[in-house]
Amino acid sequence: MDIVKYSRNQDRYLPELSGMLPQVLEEAFTRCELDHVWHERRFPDHPGDGYVFGMSPSHLPFLIHPFLGALQTTLWERAASLRARDRALTLRLRAALHVGPVPDVGDTLHDRKAKATNDAFRMLDSVALRQVMDRTEPDVTLVAAIVSGRVFQDVVESGYTAVHARQFHHVTAEVPEKDFAQDAWIYVPRPTFAETRQEETAQEPREPDTGTDSGADAGAGGAAGASAVFHDRVGQAFTGGTFHGGIHYRES
């Protein structure tokens, strides 16, 4: 996770926003009954404007749904109080999900030091993900996530999460100064068009109370296909609904 445009906030707010980040993450996990995932996290690190941690690959489907929707809702609930203090004060997050082997032996000098971790950081810093947050309405779209090709293939295309593959947008995650370019997929729980916000009415959009992704599609798969890696709670995550192609649509 990384706070969007963290340093553009006034200096007096930076410690508060930094301290709020792990609180928001824990609250989002608890909201969607995944608090055990938060408590079991491995090698957590909180370098000011970001947060990184590892977990068992069996939790990957739930990091997409219901966690990202719950994270959007949690940030939404805090947004009004932040704006009431300072109209420019905001907490928006970029997220990256990747899977791969990393050291995890309880040694802070060696844990999580691996190519998989480096690739996750590169995706998080990619031009494509930054552009999504720049081009969406900052008062509404508070989370955007990028997942690696491996996560997309193993979790999304295989039907182990309740978000349909058509709700993801294929990109090339590039960080030119790091000579990095990989296939990746972007998912936005509450997408908007920033350039059309002046055409909208003054009525503020209302966040659903459920804290889950409104576009979950029952046709994405089922519990019968759950493997030993993605255990039986996967099937319980599926809910009825509709989905929209790509990430570019405007909610009404």
Domain boundaries, given as residue ranges, for the chain: 2-236
Closest CA to 207 of 42, 107, 77: 77
For every residue of 178-224, DSSP letters joined together read: GTEEEEEEEE-SS---GGGGGGS-SPPP---SS-S-TT--GGG--GG
Rounded to whole angstroms, how far apart are CA atoms 238 and 64?
A: 12
pLDDT of residue 224: 35
Is the peptide bond between 101 and the residue preceding it cis, with omega within 30 degrees of 0?
A: no
pTM value is: 0.78
List of the chain residues with pLDDT < 70: 194-252
pLDDT in tens, 163-178: 999 999 999 999 999 9
pLDDT of residue 107: 85
pLDDT of residue 206: 54
Confirm if 76 and 142 have CB atoms less than 8 A apart: yes
Pairing state between β 52-54 and 93-97: unpaired
pLDDT of residue 249: 34
pLDDT in tens, 167-216: 999 999 999 999 999 999 999 999 998 665 455 544 555 555 544 444 44
pLDDT of residue 207: 53
Rounded to whole angstroms, how far apart are CA atoms 228 and 141?
A: 35
- CA 213, 219, 220, 225 dihedral sign is positive
Rounded to whole angstroms, how far apart are CA atoms 220 and 106?
A: 38
Q: Residue 87: count other Cβ atoms within 10 Å of its Cβ.
A: 9
Confirm if 23 and 71 have CB atoms less than 8 A apart: no
Beta strands across the sheet bearing 169-175: 2-3, 93-97, 143-148, 180-187, 169-175
User: Would you state the CATH architecture of domain 2-236?
Assistant: 2-Layer Sandwich (3.30)
pLDDT of residue 204: 54
pLDDT of residue 251: 40
